[in-house]
Structure 1
Amino acid sequence: MRIPGTLVRGGTSKCWLFGHEHVPPTLDGIERLLVDAYGATDPVHLDGIGGATPTTSKAAVVRPCAEAGIDVEYLFGQVGIGVGRVEWGSNCGNCATAIALWAVTRGLVPITGDLTRVVLRNTNTGDVLEAAVDTTGGVVHEFGTQTVPGTRSGGVAVALTFLDPAGRSTGSLLPTGSTVDDLPVGVGGETVRVSMLDAGAPVVLIDAAAAGRTGVEPLAALRADAGWLRAVRHAAAPRMGLLRPGQAPDDAVPKAGLVGAPVPYVSTTGDHIAATDYDISVRMLSMNDPHPAIGLTSAVAIATANLLEGSVVRTVSTATADPPLSQPSQLRIGTPAGVVQVTCTDIDASGPHRVTVRRAARILCEAEILVPEPALPTPA
């Protein structure tokens, strides 16, 4: 089968995008298609289009939305690496950035001057996002100069805003009812000081200092700690209502990571980052590997946690946590790739109603992907 697809860089991820009309109508059919197209059972994705890393093995199926106020909706999939399955339990902000540019390029959303607004809904989680795509001069741009931490390559500027992000997956900003918990992990009696919240995505954020870490671990050290971080994730999942009784945990949600006080470090692109350049150190796990920067859904959760008295983020953050409600709250997150700034606005007692991160996107190629016939369901 020949399946049309578009490879787009969004922020620090690469995502294959598929029009809904070109894929099977069922979730099982789409999963079989992606597993074969990506070569998912191969840990290096050699015989497929997958990137063999969590940030480059992503996919989305996109369709126009007839509902008033929503332009496009998309199903996001995190395609397995060395396993023949796709995780459907989460959203991806970097891929949403890519989809916004793709939608304007495809004419799904008409250009409206120098900035074109695209409203997207993620069907996995119900997240609603608003993207402002740079269309300076009233045209779509193939290249741009906007950069993001994690790459020195420019792209088309896209400001991505998560609308009312709290509780989209679990129904509550604080699924356990607490801002901070001592979470039992494993069978050895270890407890870990964490904040578990649902904003942008469900996350479990670990107090790095209390766990004997720093929050500025190099990627190699974080990779060595991946098994422990997965254990924390799996312990948090049932506490957050993300698992049904008897269901095995997966590695999509909750997102798991370390947070610590800002200290000097050198980014993966060689930049020297001073402690005064940012407000909170963060090291996140993406599936089973260290995230080279930070997922946008995780950034939303961390910025929201900074507004919560007693959270493991608020406790060590140097950002102003109590701005007047009429003023934006800004948080500078120190990631392995550099500093990512997140802005919360329209804040009230329920949390921020708008959380914005500035990103960049670029369409890399249009392709016709050759997929073996057995990947598609047999017609009835």
Structure 2
Amino acid sequence: MDLETDSDQIAIPAVYMRGGSSKAIFFHARDIPPAGKKRDRLLKRIIGAPDPLQIDGMGGAKAITSKMAIISESRRDMTDVDYEFVQVGVADDEVKYNMACGNISAAVGPFAVDEGLIKTFREGKGPPTPSDSTTSQANGLSGLAKTQAEPRYQEIRIYNTSTEKNFIAHIPVNANGKSVSKGKYQIAAVPGSGAPIMLDYRETLGAALNKGLFPTGNPKDEINMSNGRRVGITISDAGNICVFALARDLDITGHESASELTRTKHLIRATRELRGRAAQMVGMCADWNKVDEQSPFLPMPVLIADPTHRAGSGAHVCGRLFLDNMCHESMAGTGSVSFAAASRVVGSVVYNLIGADAAKETTLNIEHPMGIMPIAVEVDMIHEDGGVPRFLTLSFIRTARRLMDGSVYVPAEVFEDEEASVDA
């Protein structure tokens, strides 16, 4: 990239996009520095971190809006584009690349198509045929009105450089080959509706550690918390690595609002310890007390409980996911993938809660603070000995929309040497 400027600010081409229930700034890889300290300084300055309000940057003071995506044409034969996801800390000074974001992954295909990065058209798949006329996710994946005009779908094969795993996005496109954002599909936590984008995550097992679904080798383990309590956990690595535990084991119902849980300081300390002990167990940190320095975001803690059975929800389980020491306002897409994968293994914390009958269904409906997140999950068989099945389906539907494009500005001093203050 060319960093020359006659101003005290530098303009960098960027696109601001919503993907699912998150937002991110998208860049072409060619427009920003290569991986390293210079890039990290730039991305933090763009987002406005570290600052709890992110007032002098593009971030929205929440983990779900402190995200970036770096896109380029793929150098690999079997994929179309490379996608590097970046999670930037809000109040802390962290920039992390070793994870994924399922919500933001929904926007990768539309960005790639509209930016001219896709050279070959492959016919994609539309969402499942609806069984009724609902336009919401209340009843799983049958969320399309029967009267909705059917667009053409394009298959985009995406390589996540952060996890070194592939996933497939099925993008609705118009007659001119541009992505379609208008549609009747509604997702929880996003007002209005949009065109459905189906994301196939079957190939993402072992996303963080490349050790299969269960990096410990067990569907369930136990940890000793500092309060003397022994807690059963499942560490599941699909999409993103998560650690699941029963909400009641951390003294909550699992039905509280996200804001209430984030304000509950003893719970945040407990979820941090849960993350730290799980991270230490699988080698992501040497000392759980140092997890915020050594593994600040992963594994994502998820506390689960029986659903509230709100009218018509069809929920199988209730989940509260924590990211950056805050409760997620809804449910991470990759967290849902990890959730669904664990739910089909006998003996896991998730399977034990939902029961054998729910595990035989083809959708897992997860109740979260703002609604329902359905994940299509089908396996070759349920192994009674706790073995990991072969996943025939592991997918979810999101919507995405381009919000703004142009340039994002940063002070030129951000590119000075490391000793210089970027805030001078």
Closer/same/farther in 2, CA of residues 294 and 360 from structure 1, 3 Å limit: same
Partner of 1:209: helix, strand, or coil?
Answer: helix
2:385 matched to which residue of 1? none
Matches within 5 A, 1:12-51: 12-51=21-60
Give deviations 1:37-74, integer Å, cap 9, x for gaps.
11112211111111111001100111110211111111
Q: Which moved more, 1:130-139 or 1:243-252?
A: 243-252
Does 1:3 pair with 2:15?
Answer: no
Note the residue ranges of structure 2 that are not aligned, 5 or more in a row: 1-9, 124-151, 382-387, 418-424
Give deviations 1:230-254, integer Å, cap 9, x for gaps.
1111111010222257884332100
Q: Which amino acid aligns with 1:43?
A: P
Does 1:106 pair with 2:115?
Answer: yes
1:256 matched to which residue of 2? 301
Matches within 5 A, 1:82-231: 82-109=91-118, 110-111=120-121, 114-137=152-175, 139-140=177-178, 141-170=180-209, 171-186=211-226, 188-223=227-262, 224=264, 225-231=267-273
CA contact (8 A) 1:279 1:319 kept: no
Does 1:364 pair with 2:403?
Answer: yes
CA contact (8 A) 1:164 1:353 kept: no
Give deviations 1:162-213, integer Å, cap 9, x for gaps.
1322212222321222211221223x32222211121111111011234433
Matches within 5 A, 1:223-302: 223=262, 224=264, 225-244=267-286, 248-264=293-309, 273-274=310-311, 277-302=314-339
Q: Which amino acid aligns with 1:100?
A: G
1:270 matched to which residue of 2? none
Q: Which amino acid aligns with 1:252?
A: F
Closer/same/farther in 2, CA of residues 158 and 211 from structure 1, 3 Å limit: same
1:316 matched to which residue of 2? 353
CA contact (8 A) 2:285 2:295 kept: no
Closer/same/farther in 2, CA of residues 377 and 129 from structure 1, 3 Å limit: farther
Give deviations 1:286-316, integer Å, cap 9, x for gaps.
2221111110111001101110111111112
1:269 matched to which residue of 2? none
Deviation at 1:375, TM superposition (A): 2.2
Deviation at 1:112, TM superposition (A): 5.1
Give the alignment's TM-score, normalised by structure 1.
0.90
Q: Name the CA distance, whole Å, in 2 between partners of 1:332 and 1:295.
A: 13
Closer/same/farther in 2, CA of residues 214 and 347 from structure 1, 3 Å limit: farther
The number of equivalent residue pairs is: 366
CA contact (8 A) 2:82 2:158 kept: yes
Q: Name the CA distance, whole Å, in 1 between partners of 2:53 and 2:270.
A: 24
Q: Name the CA distance, whole Å, in 1 between partners of 2:105 and 2:162.
A: 12
Deviation at 1:88, TM superposition (A): 2.0
Partner of 1:274: helix, strand, or coil?
Answer: coil
Q: Which amino acid aligns with 1:257?
A: V
Higher strand content, 1 or 2: 1
Deviation at 1:26, TM superposition (A): 2.5
Closer/same/farther in 2, CA of residues 217 and 142 from structure 1, 3 Å limit: closer
Partner of 1:238: helix, strand, or coil?
Answer: helix
Closer/same/farther in 2, CA of residues 111 and 319 from structure 1, 3 Å limit: farther
Closer/same/farther in 2, CA of residues 137 and 346 from structure 1, 3 Å limit: farther
Give the alignment's TM-score, normalised by structure 2.
0.81
Q: Which amino acid aligns with 1:62?
A: I
